[in-house]
Amino acid sequence: MNALSSIKLLDETAVIDLLPTIDVVQTMRQLFRALGEDRAVQPPQTLSLLGDARGDFITYPGVLTERSVFGVKLSPYIVTDGRPIVTAWTLLMSSKTGAPLALVDASRLTTERTGATSALAIDYLARPDACRLAIIGSGDVAWAHFRHAYPLRSWREVRLFSPSLAESVDGKERWLDQPVEITRSAEDCVRNADVVILATSSAKPVIDAVWLGGDTLVTSISTNAVQAHEVSPAFLNEAQVYCDDRRTTPGSAGEMQLARSQHGWDKASIRGDLAGLATGTCPLPVRGKQVFFRSIGLGLEDVAIAEAILSAHSANSPASYCSHERVAS
């Protein structure tokens, strides 16, 4: 039997079918606890150009030592005459045999692990009595953030702002069916909020820190834009800063790069990351000062959620394993 005889190809349909069977936030929690206990390895991500102005691709590696799995997600951004092509696939391999285990469509999984990682940060960093949630953005990533964060606190108010919703009714339907108030401006959205989720594709700040309360938690994510930053880089010198991985995030996060070069910010001031929070080895925020959490998306997150999908597939349909099979419903 050759090394490819048992590899599984899990396409988007299979991923969508299996996602409801896994707890994504708990998967992320277990992953970061493993990282904090040296039971996982997170190398830096790398950006490679495709050449001839055709775009680029990001390589997201990770090793789950205790699961005997390592892998990599490849996420290209391909320039076209129309909309750019953005795809993502995660390859899982066995650290016992070196054989490939699965190739998993990672597009939906990236959305889910991004929202779940921010939700995990909210669970650790938001005040226990936080009750006012604000969301900037209304796309699939914002929706994933809302779904994963909503069960974590007893929210009395949830407000949302997105320019696309302000300009058009398209996309409002799923939000109007939820306990969410759609506001007319970003400022109206975040005023007096305890937690602000930034889930946009913006390459520049989408909120002003002067709109925020004294100990508001702000979470922010990455986009494909060069040095993307949803907050002003100067904000990092004022806030208590946390991130998904303090060893790799400062080299990739746009506002951290700009804060260092333009405002004298030092990455040594980062108070903690998710591994430290999961293991209780870093301090929690102090009251009365704003908190900023930045995620860039880690290869370990991609490997962990893809491995969870593969395990769910194995548990649900063990008989479907066969050579080079495309697994779909």
Are residues 138 and 102 part of one domain? no
Q: What is the pTM of this model?
A: 0.91
pLDDT one-digit tens code per residue, 101-156: 999 999 999 999 999 999 999 999 999 999 999 999 999 999 999 999 999 999 99
Tell me the C-alpha distance between 126 and 14, whole Å. Answer: 34
Answer whether residue 319 shows pLDDT above 50.
Answer: no
pLDDT one-digit tens code per residue, 197-250: 999 988 899 999 999 999 999 999 987 677 789 999 999 999 999 999 999 999
Neighbours of 150 (CB within 10 A): 15
Residue 157 phi, psi dihedral angles, 5° rounding: -135, 135
Read off the tokens for 208: 């002003």
Answer whether residue 3 shows pLDDT above 70.
Answer: no
pLDDT one-digit tens code per residue, 164-200: 886 554 556 788 889 999 999 999 999 999 999 999 9
Neighbours of 111 (CB within 10 A): 19
Are residues 287 and 147 part of one domain? yes
In a domain, 1, yes or no: no
pLDDT one-digit tens code per residue, 77-104: 898 888 889 899 999 999 999 999 999 9
Residue with tokens 């129309």: 82
Are residues 283 and 306 part of one domain? no
Are residues 161 and 105 part of one domain? no
Answer whether residue 327 shows pLDDT above 90.
Answer: no
- Structural domain including 40 reads 8-109+300-327
Q: How many residues does the chain have?
A: 329
Are residues 32 and 151 part of one domain? no
216 exposure class (CB count in 10 Å sphere: 0-12, 13-18, 19+)? buried
